[in-house]
Structure 1
Amino acid sequence: MSRRRHEEEHEEHDEGKERWLVTYADMVTLLMVLFIVMFAMSTVDEKKYEQLKEGLAVGFGRQQSILDGSNTATSDQGASQAGASSYEMLLAQVPTAQRTTVTKILEESDRLRRERSYGDAQVEVERLLKVWRKIDKALRHQGLRDDVRADIDERGLVVSLVSQHVVFEPNVAELTDRGRRVVDTMAPVLKDLTEPIELDGHTNQEKVKPKYFPTDWELSLARAAHVLRRLEEVHGIRAGRLRATGFGHTKPLVDPALAGSQRVNKRVDIVILSQAPAETRALLGEAFHALGENLSAAHLTLQEDRP
């Protein structure tokens, strides 16, 4: 009896010794998954790298991932595609249950990141609307409100000089007297800002060669440069904040097939460039239109623009 009891105690003792193997096996499995993920991140393209990095941070209940090193993504398209392929292959080697969990983490991270970006976009839209209200008030005080249209898109706040009283005469790159009044009225608000300002010149879609310029590209750029010079030379806005771009006839504001559209499409856009992150800027238009506020409610319509 004593011998049998001793043998049973010995077996129980041996079983206790082997329990550590369960923990060890779990640790080895987790290490394998970790190394697979680390290798995948070393070859994956930038988008998947950021997704996985943030996904792991969210999954472990942290606001930021500890993986804050520099990106190893390459700009070469072929290498990027190969990295994405390697990522998918390595992820497929993870046990199904864990792979599903990682996928859910990435999806949840995507959703949370978009929600954060959309919230930031709403805040940025509200800030740009405050700027617009100042411009709107100044223009209304001078009786010039109907000479512009305004919108918010992925670039920022866009104020377009579109009235037939403001836009340039045919083939000419200089503003009319009324056009100069509009720019002069907006200038004090623009000067108080810190954001860069882009002047985008546009021509209409009439297939006529400009009289004083080789093509409509030069004409549209000259119009933008004319407004830029007025903002700098007359109103003292720092040149480093200003840049001029010409788009020729390539970006009509309204459908060229509509009657009166040519007078509207011949314009200069004054763009207050948002400095929000790219992911936030991409949602500015969506956030603005979701507010249901129409900046162009009082703008010059095509019907009013007809003689």
Structure 2
Amino acid sequence: MSGGGHAAAKAGAHARHKRGGHDEEEHENHERWLVSYADMMTLLMVLFIVLFAISQVDQKKFAELKNGLAVGFGNPSVAFNGGESSLLESSDSDSPMDLSSGIGGTTSDATAIQDAVAAKERAQAAQRQAAAQREVANFDKIQQQITAELAKHGLADQVRFSIDERGLVVTVVTTGIVFNGNEAVLLPAGRAIIDGVGPAISALPNKIEVDGHTNQLTGGTGTYPSGWELSTARAASVLRLLHTHAGIPETRLMAAGFADTRPLYPTTDPQAAERNRRVEIIVLSNLPADTRALLPSAAEN
């Protein structure tokens, strides 16, 4: 190369240097994988920390949970008497989460829970039975008052008493002294019967239902198109007298007619024609349904 060319090359290099240029390209960074590797290791560490954390049970809080459940079942001294072991505690099986061994990995805790639930259910059943017996005792007092009042007028044999899942049922057999045949107007003796029933139930908070029933005889129903209208009209007559004479509020009274759909005796029974024709005054119990269902059995005891 001539001296002029060498000088020109040096001048060009000098010019590039002044402009900040480089003869060689910037080399590639081969250490970028370290950043991704570090992120992956961090995530793995967090994962293992979380797994470790959820595999442990706070023994104190677990004991508080057991005692709280025991108190809720009403028997803190008996409900939980097993050890405060970890949920991952080894048991007879190879699985660390063997649910068949109950809470805390011991059968004693599971059995204690079952015993506590059973004891709770027995206590509730006993409470319902006691409430049913108290209700029956109250109904007995009402029955005695009604019987004493009717006995003064020689009408005690015109009324029968029973207790079913609805409450106290006062059955008035609608013979000729209560209603004329196929009529719904109370006769004097019928009015005396209702007047004997009214005072004993007027002060009660219970609702009163009056049901009318006819018998299965195929004879006519007088001025009424069918037994439905006749039985409803008779129930309404009794209800009206309970309201006007005994002072029972209308909001506590209801009436219904069932014609011959709910007989007490089959048609083959000699008493069917007379006993199925009746009016029932029902003192409805205020107890819950599951307790009312115990009233018939409590009345038999």
Shift, 1:278, TM fit:
2.5
User: Does residue 194 in structure 1 map to residue 205 in structure 2?
Assistant: yes
User: Does residue 115 in structure 1 map to residue 114 in structure 2?
Assistant: no
TM-score, normalization by structure 2: 0.64
Shift, 1:214, TM fit:
3.1
**How many aligned positions are there?**
221
Shift, 1:24, TM fit:
4.5
Instruction: Say if 1:180 and 1:29 are closer, same or farther in 2 by CA, change over 3 A.
Output: same
Residue in structure 2 matching 1:157, options 168, 171, 174: 168
Q: What is the SS of the residue equivalent to 2:74? A: helix
Match of 1:105 in 2: 116
Shift, 1:220, TM fit:
1.5
1:16-66 residue CA offsets vs partner (Å, 9 max, x unmatched): xxxxx9x944749959x99xxxxxxxxxxxxxxxxxx9995235479xxxx
Instruction: Say if 1:29 and 1:101 are closer, same or farther in 2 by CA, change over 3 A.
Output: farther
The range that moved more, 177-186 or 164-173, is: 164-173
Take 1:29 and 1:127, find their aligned partners in 2: how far apart are those partners? 49
Match of 1:57 in 2: 73
Contact 1:165 1:179 in 2 (8 A): no
**Higher helix proportion, which one?**
1
Instruction: Say if 1:99 and 1:244 are closer, same or farther in 2 by CA, change over 3 A.
Output: same
Match of 2:26 in 1: none
Residue 191 of structure 2 aligns with an amino acid whose one-letter code is R
Q: What is the SS of the residue equivalent to 1:58? A: coil
Instruction: Say if 1:256 and 1:29 are closer, same or farther in 2 by CA, change over 3 A.
Output: farther
Gaps of 5+ in 2: 1-52, 79-97
Instruction: Say if 1:25 and 1:222 are closer, same or farther in 2 by CA, change over 3 A.
Output: same
Gaps of 5+ in 1: 1-20, 35-52, 63-91, 291-307
Contact 1:159 1:269 in 2 (8 A): yes
Instruction: Say if 1:160 and 1:94 are closer, same or farther in 2 by CA, change over 3 A.
Output: same
Instruction: Say if 1:158 and 1:61 are closer, same or farther in 2 by CA, change over 3 A.
Output: farther
Residue 57 of structure 1 aligns with an amino acid whose one-letter code is F
Match of 1:275 in 2: 286
Contact 2:178 2:190 in 1 (8 A): yes
Q: What is the SS of the residue equivalent to 1:212? A: coil
Take 1:149 and 1:269, find their aligned partners in 2: how far apart are those partners? 9
Q: What is the SS of the residue equivalent to 1:160? A: strand
User: Does residue 241 in structure 1 map to residue 252 in structure 2?
Assistant: yes
Written as runs of structure 1 = structure 2, the 5 A alignment for 1:23-172 is 24-25=56-57, 27=59, 56-60=72-76, 95-96=101-102, 97=107, 98-162=109-173, 164-172=175-183
Take 1:205 and 1:140, find their aligned partners in 2: how far apart are those partners? 31
Contact 1:139 1:182 in 2 (8 A): yes
User: Does residue 173 in structure 1 map to residue 189 in structure 2?
Assistant: no
Contact 1:139 1:185 in 2 (8 A): yes
Max Rg structure: 2
Contact 2:158 2:172 in 1 (8 A): yes
Take 1:268 and 1:256, find their aligned partners in 2: how far apart are those partners? 18
Take 2:263 and 2:235, find their aligned partners in 1: how far apart are those partners? 15
Contact 1:55 1:109 in 2 (8 A): no
